[in-house]
């Protein structure tokens, strides 16, 4: 894989516009998914990342096209932030033949190898060793590419997590491990699942530099990753980010879960004051923001139309790409 220079324009103004556009695009795409979901046109369960977008955008913005990401079933933001096709994502949610997994994977199994989105998975933790394996290949091929590996706090309780940390640290692999710590695995708070809340301290025992971001500030995450990349590309080994964040909606589905009794709306209100999309928007003049918003709406409307107009897969597709 040839090393490509990034094609992103760089200046303070361009950075602010690009970050807002990326955040707004993910937010609005997921709000559209939530709006459409009750019509039953969307054929797969959806795990929305509304509220958490700053993590994916902060990590992916400094990446180059040659770099890769792997993600979780809550992966719309990861996929879109790395440049995955929005029409192909919408079509995938609709179960259509033009979807990024030919309509066979749904929201939890997004992939776009043109953008180096390695894939997302419904099975907690499984994409972590996949990312490490891809990073091993980059090291062996000498591409200088890095892999950002997104996971929830629940995934850090899977056996493959410490195994992957150890292997990546031992072989000095170019992996940015990103834990999106929203405090819950479905309904279970982290305090009832983990003996201590010191994820970074645990990771650091593998010799991996680990840093917690208390409010997942998009620009702070972005700056940290941008600073780490040159050393990682030269064999400096993995890093770990624990990004404290909050999912605004229910675990799965378009609604909320504040009546279920396990978390409170008052905490949501605190996190909404740190809304990454609103913060990025306030950094721009209103006219610039309005232009970006209009472009985002047009792109999302076109993606939804593409999904609606696309055909379902042919019946014989049921037995293609099936390995057993
Ligand atoms: C190996 C495995 N165990 C259990 C489950 C059931 N499960 C689905 S989502 C989830 C919670 C995971 O929480 P976290 O990793 O923190 O991600 P979040 O949903 O908060 O983004 C669990 C336990 C699963 N899908 N895979």
Residue bearing the CA closest to ligand 1, atom 20: 185
Q: Which two tokens stand for residue 229?
A: 């990349």
Predicted confidence at residue 7, as pLDDT, reads: 57
268-274 long-range contacts, Cβ below 8 Å, gap at least 24? 271/51, 271/245, 271/246, 272/51, 272/248, 274/215, 274/216, 274/217
Pairing type for strands 68-72 and 147-152 reads parallel
Contact assessment for residue 178 and residue 148, using Cβ atoms and an 8 Å cutoff: yes
Residue 179 forms beta bridges with which residues?
A: 151, 242
**How many angstroms separate the Cα of 123 from the Cα of each of 16, 57, 287?**
35, 23, 43
**How many angstroms separate the Cα of 16 from the Cα of each of 57, 238, 243, 279?**
12, 28, 21, 10
Q: Which two tokens stand for residue 105?
A: 């994977």
Q: Which CATH number fits domain 12-311: 3.30.70.890, 3.40.50.970, 3.90.1150.10, 3.40.50.12780?
A: 3.40.50.970
pTM greater than 0.85 = yes
| Ligand 1 binding site (Cβ under 6 Å of any ligand atom) | 72, 74, 122-124, 152-155, 182, 184-186, 251
Give distance in angstroms: CA of 16 to centre of ligand 1. Answer: 33
Residue bearing the CA closest to ligand 1, atom 13: 185
Give distance in angstroms: CA of 303 to centre of ligand 1. Answer: 29
Give distance in angstroms: CA of 253 to centre of ligand 1. Answer: 14
For ligand 1, mutation pick of 48, 159, 185, 188 (most atoms within 8 Å of CB): 185
pLDDT string in tens for the chain (324-residue length): 333 445 566 788 899 999 999 999 999 999 999 999 999 999 899 999 999 999 999 999 999 999 999 999 999 999 999 999 999 999 999 999 999 999 999 999 999 999 999 999 999 999 999 999 999 999 999 999 999 999 999 999 999 999 999 999 999 999 999 999 999 999 999 999 999 999 999 999 999 999 999 998 999 999 999 999 999 999 999 999 999 999 999 999 999 999 999 999 999 999 999 999 999 999 999 999 999 999 999 999 999 999 999 999 999 998 898 887
Give distance in angstroms: CA of 194 to centre of ligand 1. Answer: 14
Q: How far apart are CA 294 and CA 148, in angstroms?
A: 30
**How many angstroms separate the Cα of 298 from the Cα of each of 9, 53, 105, 212?**
22, 20, 26, 36
Give distance in angstroms: CA of 49 to centre of ligand 1. Answer: 14
Report the SS3 class of residue 157: helix
Measure the N-to-C terminal CA separation of the chain; round to a whole number of Å. Answer: 31
Predicted confidence at residue 2, as pLDDT, reads: 38
Residue bearing the CA closest to ligand 1, atom 25: 123
Domain ranges of the chain: 12-311
Give distance in angstroms: CA of 123 to centre of ligand 1. Answer: 7
Residue matched to tokens 């792109």: 299
For ligand 1, mutation pick of 48, 125, 177, 186 (most atoms within 8 Å of CB): 186
Contact assessment for residue 79 and residue 158, using Cβ atoms and an 8 Å cutoff: no
Contact assessment for residue 159 and residue 168, using Cβ atoms and an 8 Å cutoff: no
Residue 302: DSSP 8-state: H
Q: How far apart are CA 146 and CA 176, in angstroms?
A: 7
For residue 215, give the nearest of 14, 8, 54, 18 by alpha carbon: 54
Q: How far apart are CA 134 and CA 161, in angstroms?
A: 15
Give distance in angstroms: CA of 154 to centre of ligand 1. Answer: 6
Give distance in angstroms: CA of 185 to centre of ligand 1. Answer: 6
Ligand 1 atom closest to the Cα of residue 47 is 19
Predicted confidence at residue 1, as pLDDT, reads: 35
Predicted confidence at residue 67, as pLDDT, reads: 98
Q: Which two tokens stand for residue 110?
A: 């997004």
Predicted confidence at residue 49, as pLDDT, reads: 98
């Amino acid at each position: 894989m040839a090393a490509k220079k990034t094609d992103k324009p760089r200046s303070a103004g361009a950075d602010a516009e690009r970050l807002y556009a990326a955040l707004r695009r993910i937010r609005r795409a997921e709000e559209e998914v939530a709006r459409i979901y009750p019509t039953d046109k969307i054929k797969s369960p959806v795990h929305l990342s509304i509220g958490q977008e700053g993590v994916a955008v902060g990590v992916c913005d400094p990446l180059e096209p040659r770099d890769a990401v792997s993600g979780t079933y809550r992966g719309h933001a990861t996929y879109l932030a790395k440049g995955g096709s929005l029409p192909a994502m919408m079509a995938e949610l609709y179960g259509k033949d033009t979807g990024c997994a030919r309509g066979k994977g749904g929201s939890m199994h997004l992939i776009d190898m043109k953008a180096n989105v390695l894939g997302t998975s419904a099975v907690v933790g499984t994409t972590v060793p996949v990312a490490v394996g891809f990073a091993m290949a980059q090291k062996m091929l000498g591409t200088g590419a890095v892999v950002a590996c997104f996971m929830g706090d629940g995934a850090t309780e899977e056996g493959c997590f410490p195994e992957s940390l150890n292997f990546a640290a031992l072989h000095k692999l170019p992996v940015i491990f990103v834990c999106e710590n929203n405090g819950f695995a479905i309904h279970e708070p982290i305090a009832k699942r983990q003996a201590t809340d010191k994820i970074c301290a645990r990771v650091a025992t593998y010799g991996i530099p680990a840093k917690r971001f208390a409010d997942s500030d998009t620009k702070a995450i972005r700056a940290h990753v941008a600073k780490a990349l040159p050393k990682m590309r030269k064999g400096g080994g993995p890093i770990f980010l624990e990004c404290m964040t909050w999912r605004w909606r229910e675990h799965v589905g378009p609604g909320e879960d504040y009546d279920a009794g396990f978390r409170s709306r008052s905490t949501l209100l605190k996190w909404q004051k740190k809304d990454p999309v609103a913060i990025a928007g306030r950094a721009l003049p209103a006219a610039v923001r309005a232009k970006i918003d209009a472009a985002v709406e047009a792109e999302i409307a076109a993606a939804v139309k593409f999904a609606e107009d696309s055909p379902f897969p042919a019946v014989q597709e049921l037995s293609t790409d099936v390995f057993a």
